[in-house]
Amino acid sequence: MATTRTFLVLFSLACSLTLCICDDESNYGGGEGNLFPGFYRSSCPKAEEIVRSVVAQAVAKEARMAASLMRLHFHDCFVQGCDGSLLLDSSGSIGSEKGSNPNSNSARGFDVVDQIKAALENECPGTVSCADLLTLAARDSSVLTGGPSWMVPLGRRDSRSASLSGSNNNIPAPNNTFSTILSRFNNQGLDLTDLVALSGSHTIGFSRCTSFRQRLYNQSGNGSPDITLEQSYATNLRQRCPPSGGDQNLSELDINSAGKFDNSYFKNLIENMGLLNSDQVLFSSNEESSELVKTYAEDQEEFFEQFAESMIKMGNLSPLTGSSGEIRKNCRKINS
Tell whether 153 is in a known binding site.
no
Q: Are 135 and 315 in contact (CB under 8 A)?
A: yes
Q: Are 250 and 212 in contact (CB under 8 A)?
A: no
> Do you know the residue count of the chain?
336
Per-residue b or e along 266-299, where b marks 16 or more CB atoms closer than 10 Å to that residue's CB: bbbbeebbbbbbbbbbbbbbbeebbebbebbbee
Tell whether 254 is in a known binding site.
yes
Tell whether 114 is in a known binding site.
no
Please report, as a single letter, which amino acid is at residue 38.
G
Tell whether 3 is in a known binding site.
no
Tell whether 230 is in a known binding site.
no
Tell whether 55 is in a known binding site.
no
Q: What is the DSSP letter of 173?
A: P
Helices (H), the chain: 2-17, 19-22, 47-61, 65-77, 110-123, 130-144, 164-170, 178-186, 192-199, 209-217, 231-240, 264-270, 277-284, 287-298, 300-315
Query: To the nearest 10°, the Cα dihedral for 129, 319, 73, 172?
Result: 150
Tell me the C-alpha distance between 273 and 284, whole Å: 11
Q: Could you count the other beta carbons within 10 Å of the beta carbon of residue 48?
A: 21
Q: Are 196 and 202 in contact (CB under 8 A)?
A: no
Tell whether 76 is in a known binding site.
yes
Which residues are designated catalytic?
A: 75
Detail the residues annotated as belonging to a binding site: 76, 79, 81, 83, 85, 97, 172, 202-203, 254, 262
Detail the residues annotated as belonging to a binding site for substrate: 172
Detail the residues annotated as belonging to a binding site for Ca(2+): 76, 79, 81, 83, 85, 97, 203, 254, 262
Detail the residues annotated as belonging to a binding site for heme b: 202
